[in-house]
Amino acid sequence: MSYYSLEKRQEYLQQQGERQPLPPFAANPRLNAPELYQPSPELADAVNVALRLGLPLLLTGEPGSGKTQLAEHLAWFFNLGETLVFNAQTTSSATDLFYQYDALGHFQHSQNSKEQLLSLEELERRFIRYKGLGEAIRSQQRRLVLIDEIDKAPRDLPNDVLDAMDKLRFYVAEVDKWHTTEPQHRPVIVLTSNSEKNLPDAFLRRVVYFHIEFPDPAKMMEIMGAKVAGLDAGQLRPVVDHFYAIRGERNLKLNKYPATAELIQWAAYLQETGFPTAKLKNPDRLSEEERRALKTSYSVLAKTREDLAALVRRVGGIMNDE
């Protein structure tokens, strides 16, 4: 049972308040499966260079190109445990790379508790939360740290990452304690950037850089075959071709052109709803109901009202041209 449309409102109301079950949902286990990630040979080479030199790997590429998924894939491939993620913000500080101190919680405890003054060990246990690089250094084993969207952070934070990598230690002022680890436990660092602003030259000189290019149609077919179950190559090809036609039609002037992540979700939705993907090769064969279904599906590809309107207009334009 789907959510009712306005056209079926009266029919629904005549059911005397009978409630409908939610439509079934089954998560796609392949969507973010790290073992299914398919790096290009060039990206694999860049990973090996970074690992050999013990340097952070800096990745750029348009959103949805697989930068963060590479980190998950590497953690799986090298059995490094759960990826330790630090999401950089404009307000991030060097301390945030390692830990967070719950100052408010500590204050409230000191005001309300009748206990004696906490020992430093108890204070650490209750009010220090180790994050990202801090947790990796404390673990005394090799871990993978993903520092996501580092270009959003203040300009000095990238250099703080390199300083931590050099020294493999950090200080927790609130409990007067150093945490350190040995070189053989050096964290594997993956950084991502959307190139929103330039990173410091001193930082760029000490990382391994790679730009993830958008896959060509042939590579995309391989990715889709691994990620989307239930559609064979003959059914996937029209979906991929339609997707690339949208990306290549610059007259659309979309604010954000859909990327791999959106394509996977879109194909999964078309498969789930039984849309006849073969008809995407000849849009004039679409019935009115199928045209409406296609327009509805574009809400997966578009991320702004303007982009959605442009894609919807495009369906009408294609039909009119045929």
Instruction: Give tens-digit pLDDT for 215-256.
Output: 899 999 999 998 888 888 999 999 999 999 999 887 888 999
pTM of the model: 0.82
34-211: CATH architecture: 3-Layer(aba) Sandwich (3.40)
Average pLDDT over residues 182-204: 89
Would the pLDDT of 17 be above 70? no
Q: Which residue has the higher pLDDT, 40 or 315?
A: 40
pLDDT at position 181 is 93
CA distance 234 to 178: 59
Question: Beta strands 99-101 and 169-172: pairing type?
Answer: unpaired
Q: Which residue has the higher pLDDT, 320 or 65?
A: 65
Question: To the nearest whole number, what is the mean pLDDT of the chain?
Answer: 87
Instruction: Show me where the domains of the chain are located.
Output: 34-211, 215-321
Within 8 A by CB and 6+ apart from 179, the residues are 98, 134, 137, 138, 169, 170, 171, 172
223: which strand partners?
A: none
pLDDT at position 320 is 43
Which of 45, 48, 64 has its CA nearest to residue 192?
64
